Homo-oligomer: A and B are copies of this chain.
């Protein structure tokens, strides 16, 4: 394919993309395929000779689309949103053409430079404390974590905390080896935290304990303090807490104004994971939920969830860059990575903030999105989706057969049919089979609960109303059945 053909095919692709998104409501949101469906639709080996582009593109509808879960359909209410916007798509196209890799500053100066400044822009939008802003002389700053969800941000914070804790113990007990210290270290997180937090501890080889939550599925200071005291009395060394703002099951908010001072006093690293909810903190009315971030050593959220920046873009800030860079401080930087601006200390080694060596030019997406929407446009998107969740909540509350299972603060509504879990399980089964809308369940205090998350950018009141009609129709049918 030469440049001329790319011009033609690229423009056709732009139309295909626009058509796909414009007509997405006509596709069943959840695919009707069985595991292994695709293998039989295509050859078992790559072709020896080139094929025609027409044949490839025809196969997009024949092979690919039948297996797609349409996350951008306004009938998609599962998990949490993954963002999509035209400006972000345009930026990503440009990123594809520039196509270089960023690791050292010299490998692609603009990748380092724009990322640092965009994270400052975003940090200011969130009104993060000054120490998280890189500026020209700051000790902290932000980075786009390679990888896709908050998993890598959590892992990096665990590793940085582990490194720091070992150094601290060794400073006061010079004789102790890392191997002696490691089994005593203990990290904490909410029992409601995302599974990636537990993974981070598995990778880092440290014990992680789960803190029980209160009636709002949030961790408070009292229970946390009690666990710390017990563990310290047992000879363990508490060194890390991952607090969550907007948990995956119910969008609960840990009480970081209580947890932060405890962590600071105990010299523990506090990381805050606000993967989903973080985007909402650009709105003054939601910013109070972030109060307490001033006690944190690191903070992250995913603009690719709720800030109109296409997947993937997970952002992380640290109070002291040196803590996180310390994890990978090599005695010898490989020679092929040295360059004339080697001494440029200003976060120039973004590759030392993360596990992979290289990075895409992801900050281009943020730059396009921030400028094309403006802060007000982004706030409007958040507010609209929260209002839709409130609208859905009202519909549920008005129906005596249902109950709301957790406070609705952002774009997630947790609800269930009153009565046995089996009843709500059956309802979900019918919803999934019908493929008109798509949502997933969670467990809250032993109850089987449906999660209704406002996801697609184009979701509107009429979709919410239609979804509710569909749910109540299926409920009506279920309750008519002899067993119920």
Interface residue from B10, B335, B370, B442 paired with A442 (Cβ < 8 Å): B335
B-contacting residues, A434-449, CB 8 Å: 440-443
Contact A311 to B99, CB < 8 A, known contacts A69-B109, A93-B13: yes
Chain B residues, Cβ within 8 Å of A327: 202-203
Is the pair A442, B336 in contact by a Cβ cutoff of 8 Å?
yes
Indicate whether A92 reaches chain B with its CB closer than 8 angstroms: yes
Contact A249 to B335, CB < 8 A, known contacts A89-B96, A356-B148: yes
Is the pair B121, A372 in contact by a Cβ cutoff of 8 Å?
no
Indicate whether A399 reaches chain B with its CB closer than 8 angstroms: no
Q: How far is the CA of A193 from the CA of B202 in the complex (A)?
A: 26
B-contacting residues, A412-467, CB 8 Å: 432, 440-443, 451
Is the pair B359, A148 in contact by a Cβ cutoff of 8 Å?
yes
Is the pair B14, A371 in contact by a Cβ cutoff of 8 Å?
no
Q: How many residues of A contact B (CB 8 A)?
A: 150
Is the pair A312, B18 in contact by a Cβ cutoff of 8 Å?
no
Whole-angstrom distance from the CB of A321 to the nearest CB of chain B? Answer: 15
B-contacting residues, A356-380, CB 8 Å: 356-360, 364, 367-368, 370-377
Whole-angstrom distance from the CB of A54 to the nearest CB of chain B? Answer: 11
Whole-angstrom distance from the CB of A335 to the nearest CB of chain B? Answer: 5
Is the pair B69, A82 in contact by a Cβ cutoff of 8 Å?
no
| Segment touching B, from A35-43, A287-295, A382-390, A474-482 | A35-43
Q: How far is the CA of A20 from the CA of B204 in the complex (A)?
A: 43
Is the pair A109, B33 in contact by a Cβ cutoff of 8 Å?
yes
Chain B residues, Cβ within 8 Å of A230: none
Chain B residues, Cβ within 8 Å of A223: none
Whole-angstrom distance from the CB of A243 to the nearest CB of chain B? Answer: 18
Chain B residues, Cβ within 8 Å of A63: 114
Is the pair B101, A346 in contact by a Cβ cutoff of 8 Å?
no
Whole-angstrom distance from the CB of A78 to the nearest CB of chain B? Answer: 8
Contact A148 to B357, CB < 8 A, known contacts A179-B183, A183-B179, A441-B336: yes
Is the pair B177, A17 in contact by a Cβ cutoff of 8 Å?
no
Whole-angstrom distance from the CB of A62 to the nearest CB of chain B? Answer: 12
Is the pair A38, B110 in contact by a Cβ cutoff of 8 Å?
yes
Indicate whether A146 reaches chain B with its CB closer than 8 angstroms: yes
Contact A13 to B94, CB < 8 A, known contacts A45-B121, A99-B311: yes
Whole-angstrom distance from the CB of A73 to the nearest CB of chain B? Answer: 10
Q: How far is the CA of A14 from the CA of B136 in the complex (A)?
A: 36
B-contacting residues, A103-128, CB 8 Å: 105-110, 113-114, 116-117, 120-122, 124-125
Contact A69 to B100, CB < 8 A, known contacts A3-B21, A35-B346, A148-B359: yes
Whole-angstrom distance from the CB of A302 to the nearest CB of chain B? Answer: 10
Chain B residues, Cβ within 8 Å of A20: 97-98
Is the pair B101, A148 in contact by a Cβ cutoff of 8 Å?
yes
Is the pair A355, B155 in contact by a Cβ cutoff of 8 Å?
yes
Whole-angstrom distance from the CB of A19 to the nearest CB of chain B? Answer: 9
Q: How far is the CA of A482 from the CA of B335 in the complex (A)?
A: 29
Whole-angstrom distance from the CB of A49 to the nearest CB of chain B? Answer: 4
Indicate whether A219 reaches chain B with its CB closer than 8 angstroms: no
Q: How far is the CA of A357 from the CA of B154 in the complex (A)?
A: 12
Whole-angstrom distance from the CB of A263 to the nearest CB of chain B? Answer: 23
Nearest B-chain residue to A121, judged by Cβ = B46
Indicate whether A469 reaches chain B with its CB closer than 8 angstroms: no
B-contacting residues, A388-406, CB 8 Å: none
Counting from the closest, the 10 A-B pairs by CB-CB distance are A67-B110, A10-B14, A71-B100, A147-B356, A17-B97, A38-B113, A179-B183, A35-B344, A149-B357, A6-B86
A-B contact pairs, 20 of them (CB 8 A): A7-B14, A9-B90, A10-B89, A16-B94, A35-B341, A49-B374, A50-B376, A55-B371, A64-B110, A64-B364, A67-B110, A68-B98, A71-B100, A92-B92, A99-B311, A152-B355, A159-B203, A194-B357, A335-B443, A355-B355
Identify 9 new A-B residue pairs, CB closer than 8 A, beyond the known A71-B101, A79-B107.
A3-B22, A6-B90, A51-B374, A67-B108, A147-B147, A147-B356, A198-B330, A249-B336, A355-B355
